[in-house]
Structure 1
């Protein structure tokens, strides 16, 4: 595991853009999102500015986040979700779902665009959209991802890791538990693997 980490983080990319986020405590920069830690994990939550509620698949992942936050903090890691939707809409959806992890809005910055997880319509139309270091191959303007950042002793911020697509599955506790049982994820016959997923409070309706 240590050798794998060493390979994964060989190249740190310094972040020079002064990204600003709307948070419950006012505007904060990317550096300030670390909240005194030297490492930061960002989940790029699919919630476009025009959407009424957040993505049901991202919500499936987010149901795993609450309990992990305090454990991460003990290892010098701050966690936050970031979405392009306005902060009041994020907060309303967060209350509905009972989540308490940090969630901030990047609506006023290029942050998500610069890390290749939402895409402008003109970029999709041109076929130039890149995700996971290759052509996107989809027509969605929003995509999920994890980004990891580190801050050095001088306060400089670096992007140290990013994972997209199937790479984010490691953070989904429900998927990992389903993999223990004989029927597994039980996705045979579904039109696509995530079609059976709903918001947690919508099952049985």
Structure 2
């Protein structure tokens, strides 16, 4: 059991109780992760969606969903980035999330595939990406297909949703495996679904402080 200089008995008692809760949470997180890993594969993806990206020369290139899987990597996470053609600018929360993912991309790619898709034209996506130094992120436009609508990244009115989906490739077939369905689940009293918190470091930093996440604070595009 750790102890630190000049702490009171009251502090140590409370901290020990918190430690018990933290270790229970650690076990629960792993329990949930195993339940997720043990899911049977979901529905077959009937359409090999065609996305657009820019190649190294800046030319538009068409890429199918099945082509986003590198050899030896079965899983692909597709994140719906809220940057639709009718939106005046990029979603600040998605932007902050992708800022953090950008720094981890080389590590992520060692074990899995990743794609970031948005509804805007690819030239608009990449123009904004350059302002954030997202050169390493695998960014795609879904403007020419129904992927967003089919996999819950867009509502019936064209509103964009920050959905994350995992797909697995089995031979020539691609199947859905997991989606961040907590985005649409009942909230726990606040206004945020926290559906991708486990892969978003920002909020976990704040949770370690007395101030916590605060009330009403959200990331901005500029400070």
Does residue 73 (structure 1) correspond to residue 101 (structure 2)? The answer is no
What is the distance in 2 between the residues matched to 1:66 and 1:3? 26
1:14 matched residue in structure 2: 44
2:86 matched residue in structure 1: 50
How does 1:118-157 map onto structure 2 within 5 Å? 118-121=154-157, 141-152=159-170, 154-157=171-174
Cα deviation for residue 35 of structure 1 reads 3.2
TM-score (norm 2): 0.73
CA contact (8 A) 1:151 1:158 kept: yes
Q: Provide, for residues 98-127 of structure 1, a one-character-per-residue CA deviation record: whole Å limited to 9, x for no partner.
A: 112111000000000001121232xxxxxx
TM-score (norm 1): 0.79
RMSD: 1.7
**Unpaired runs of at least 5, structure 2:** 1-29, 56-60, 184-193
Cα deviation for residue 96 of structure 1 reads 0.5
CA contact (8 A) 2:41 2:175 kept: no
Cα deviation for residue 53 of structure 1 reads 2.2
CA pair 57-3 structure 1, distance change in 2 beyond 3 A: closer
How does 1:1-205 map onto structure 2 within 5 Å? 1=30, 3-7=34-38, 9-25=39-55, 26-36=61-71, 37-75=73-111, 77-99=112-134, 100-121=136-157, 141-152=159-170, 154-164=171-181, 165=183, 166-187=194-215, 190=216, 195-199=217-221, 202-203=222-223
What is the distance in 1 between the residues matched to 2:196 and 2:66? 24
Larger Rg: 2
**Unpaired runs of at least 5, structure 1:** 122-139
> Post-superposition, which runs of at least 4 consecutive aligned residues in structure 1 deviate over 3 A?
none
CA contact (8 A) 1:64 1:171 kept: no
2:3 matched residue in structure 1: none
- Helix, strand or coil: the match of 2:159? coil
What is the distance in 2 between the residues matched to 1:196 and 1:41? 25
What is the distance in 1 between the residues matched to 2:203 and 2:130? 24
What is the distance in 1 between the residues matched to 2:104 and 2:42? 25
Cα deviation for residue 171 of structure 1 reads 1.6
